[in-house]
Homo-oligomer: A and B are copies of this chain.
Amino acid sequence: MESPLIRKLRQFIPLTPGEKAALGRIGGHVQPARPNDVLLDQGRGTGVAVLLHSGWAIRHRTLRDGRRQIIDFVLPGDLCDPSCYFQRQADCAVSAITDGTYSLVRASEILDLIAASPRLGAFFWWLDAQEGQYLRAHLVAVGRLTAYERIAYLVWELWTRLRAVGLVEQNTFLLPANQALIADATGLSHVHVSRTLSRMAREKLLRRLDRRYQILDPARFRQIAQVEDITVSRRLPEAVAARLKRY
């Protein structure tokens, strides 16, 4: 069984046999996970990352009173998150939301890898940077989009990421999360998630069957989610300058 890391990295650069061997060595001890299993606890000073072989997980933070924010979804093959090596304590918990398999990767393993191969170091950094991009987009969505736009953004993000790993067919994908999870990811209540998803179905934007989602109109979806503005970017238009003057 090939390591998910090798599978991921070699999409981008050819790996030397030495690098492959080194990569293959990390992420041993594959363990099974069940929904709601905590793979990595918030506040634990472990210096480990989670390599998710299969299944879905979430990275989330929970306040004492129970309010919870999902930072991001962890998809099969993701390493979450390599930069935790530089922290004393995990600042988020990672929990499985489906059945799956994972392994824990210790800081030292990756740091040795970086020392041995700077370009692998850069590569892990790059993976981390990608995550940063999604994170910033997520922040914009939660901070400045309406509920309708926000959910459109979430669906669009997942669609995009799942497509990249071959888990989308006919614009349809599985999102194994109940509406309470979607609420925690978007900063909404589960009731309003339900309202909003129903509205999207009514408006023929989205079709749902259990937890399979089909995007019926990708172009309108992008537009509603303001994807252009959120993920890539554009110049500052006149209208914006005018508006900013009002402040």
List residues of A whose CB falls within 8 A of some B CB: 38, 41-43, 45, 47, 61-69, 71, 81, 83-93, 107-108, 111, 114-115, 118-119, 121-122, 124-126, 128-133, 135-140, 142-145, 178, 180, 186-187, 190, 226, 228-237, 239-240, 242-244, 247
Contacts and interface: CB of A to CB of B under 8 A. Distances in A.
Given A126-B86, A187-B142, A236 B62 contact: yes
Nearest to A122: B114
Contact of A64 (B62, B64, B239): B239
Given A64-B234, A226-B63, A91 B247 contact: no
A143 B107 CA distance: 30
A239 B87 contact: no
Per assembly, the copies of the chain total: 2
Contact of A43 (B66, B86, B233): B233
B88 A233 contact: yes
B121 A122 contact: yes
A138 B67 CA distance: 15
A84 B89 CA distance: 25
A209 to B, nearest CB: 22
Contact of A89 (B186, B190, B232): B232
A72 to B, nearest CB: 9
A62 B247 contact: no
Nearest to A139: B139
Contacts of A232: 43, 87-91
Contacts of A111: 122, 240, 243-244
A224 to B, nearest CB: 12
Given A61-B229, A86-B130, A86-B236, 8 more contacts: A63-B140, A65-B240, A68-B144, A71-B139, A118-B121, A125-B128, A142-B187, A144-B187
